[in-house]
Amino acid sequence: MTVLTRFAPSPTGHLHVGNIRTALHNWMFARANGGRFMLRIDDTDAVRSEERFVDAIRADLDWLGMAPDGEVRQSARFDLYEARFAELRAAGRVYPAYETAQELDLKRKIQLGRGLPPIYDRAALSLTDAQVAAYEAEGRAPHWRFRLDDTPLDWDDLVRGPQHFAPAAMGDPVVRRADGSWLYLLPSVIDDIDMGVTHVVRGEDHVSNTAVQLGMFAALGAVPPRFAHAALLTGSEGKLSKRLGSLGIAHFREAGIEPQAVVALLARIGTSQPVEPVVDAAPLLAAFDFAHFGRAPARFDEDELAAVSTRIIHQLPYEAVADRLPAGMDAEGWAAIRPNLHRVGEAADWWSVVEGPIETVIAEEDRAFLAEAGAVAAAMDWAGDPWHALTGALKGATGRKGKALFLPLRRALTGRDSGPDMAALLLLIGRTRALQRLARDM
């Protein structure tokens, strides 16, 4: 069996961090098992679906390095849904119901008031021809429900373990609206059968959907895929957060987060494995196993993501960032400045320190010291390691050491009190600029 997973977003908005995590789990499981990862655009809602969101979904997956192996769109598959719907209707597994939303709401309130579960009472199955004719004469169009049978709805979830639902406690779900449009449940099952999906990987908020869909797979004569339902994300405070619904790729990119950091964090939170700042996803894939997933909510912390991103930046080779660096910065410059960055975009700020001009304030007590530093720098050999040659000579000549030796030099040469290693930075600044900076205001 070749593993085939699918990520099935609706193009009614941008992907948020919870969607991205679901996509990542599907991509990782497929790649870890030598399988295929498919993108299914669930665009049956013609009113709310927008092509710009389809483009954004593709771009987000591409940025994360999770390009799918193929793509299908539900809007192109209506003929297939009609054919399978007709089969279910002929077999008596879907039936029309005529209650209005207000009538259904009243039924639920009555059931709750009596301490009963608010599930559909199957009243539509008892309608006479005369009652149906009367409803249609009023202009009512039916919605359609899937009739569950008495078969227990059981499966062994790859994350949650054995699951059991009693059909009698579920209620027959609506699968098609009165206007003929489709709800999520049935088209998704039809697609999974037609596409050959072997594993459905999604959030635990779909557990009850899975129970109902197992009945649909059986009614359509298909063996269901395996299911894995991961615990939902919470905010860093440990609670479900509306903010998580607004965090997407655009936010992460604007914050200077590296895509590898998003992958590294979302691959491991909610599991028993440590989050590691890996640049290449290979070790994540090699260790991917649903057995590591816990049942407790997974905490998503933006500060942790930023920290992971910083550690990844410190590993990135020049070739991976060259197109994002300021003009003139080469591999040597990147290697010198990289350890001081939190975001790649900060490289431009440090490169301006190298190329100048810079602003600095010289303390009166340091002027004579810096004048001597300029003289030493002008006379010494700049081949090899000029920083240690300069500081070594000045230490012997002035008796200064530690902060009194190094800080005035750093301030004069960079305009900063801290920053990248001066041995590497001075090589980038070069002899001419260094002498000009040491001589300024003398």
Mean pLDDT of the chain: 95
Q: Domains of the chain by range and CATH?
A: 4-69+186-232 (3.40.50.620), 80-176 (3.90.800.10), 242-313 (1.10.1160.10), 318-355 (no CATH), 364-439 (1.10.10.350)
Q: How far is CA 68 from CA 23, 27, 32, 35, 286, in A?
A: 10, 8, 14, 11, 19
What integer pLDDT is reported at residue 243 of this predicted model?
78
Q: Are 139 and 168 in contact (CB under 8 A)?
A: no
Q: Give percent of the chain above pLDDT 90.
A: 94
- Residue 386 in this model has a pLDDT that exceeds 90: yes
- Give dist(CA 222, CA 194) in Å, integer: 10
The token pair that represents 365 in the structure block: 């007590």
Q: Is 254 helix (H, G, I), strand (E, B) or coil?
A: helix
Mean pLDDT (whole number) for 124-144: 96
Q: Are 52 and 286 in contact (CB under 8 A)?
A: no
The candidate with the shortest Cα–Cα distance to 66, out of 23, 3, 120, is: 23
**What residues are designated binding site for ATP?**
242
- Give dist(CA 276, CA 263) in Å, integer: 10
What integer pLDDT is reported at residue 442 of this predicted model?
55
- Residue 440 in this model has a pLDDT that exceeds 90: no
Give 77-119 pLDDT, tens digit per residue.
Answer: 999 999 999 999 999 999 999 999 999 999 999 999 999 889 9
Compute φ and ψ for 4, nearest 5 degrees: -135, 120
**What residues are designated binding site?**
242
Give 288-324 pLDDT, tens digit per residue.
Answer: 999 999 999 999 999 999 999 999 999 999 999 999 9
The token pair that represents 256 in the structure block: 């200077």
- Give dist(CA 214, CA 390) in Å, integer: 75
C-alpha angle 222-83-42 in degrees, rounded to nearest 5: 75
Give 149-186 pLDDT, tens digit per residue.
Answer: 999 999 999 999 999 999 989 999 999 999 999 999 99
What integer pLDDT is reported at residue 159 of this predicted model?
97
Output the CA torsion 145→188→201→239 (10° steps): -60
Give 344-377 pLDDT, tens digit per residue.
Answer: 999 999 999 999 999 998 999 999 999 999 999 9
Confidence of residue 428 (pLDDT cuts 50, 70, 90): very high
- Residue 340 in this model has a pLDDT that exceeds 80: yes
What integer pLDDT is reported at residue 150 of this predicted model?
92
What integer pLDDT is reported at residue 244 of this predicted model?
84
- Residue 53 in this model has a pLDDT that exceeds 60: yes
What integer pLDDT is reported at residue 240 of this predicted model?
64
Confidence of residue 195 (pLDDT cuts 50, 70, 90): very high
- Give dist(CA 55, CA 296) in Å, integer: 34
- Residue 441 in this model has a pLDDT that exceeds 60: no
- Give dist(CA 441, CA 291) in Å, integer: 66
Task: List CB contacts of 422: < 8 A, sequence separation 6 or more.
Answer: 387, 406, 409, 410, 413, 414
What integer pLDDT is reported at residue 237 of this predicted model?
72
Q: Which residues pair with 228 in a beta bridge?
A: 201
Mean pLDDT (whole number) for 215-236: 96
The token pair that represents 106 in the structure block: 């009243």
Q: Which residues pair with 157 in a beta bridge?
A: 161
Mean pLDDT (whole number) for 126-147: 96
Q: Are 300 and 246 in contact (CB under 8 A)?
A: no
CB burial string 127-165: b at 16+ within 10 A, e below: beeeeeeebeeeeeebbbbbbbeeeebebebbbbeebeb
Three-state SS across 108-153? HHHHHHCCCCCCCCCHHHHCCHHHHHHHHHCCCCCEEEECCCCCCE
Neighbours of 374 (CB within 10 A): 19
- Give dist(CA 188, CA 146) in Å, integer: 14
Neighbours of 411 (CB within 10 A): 19
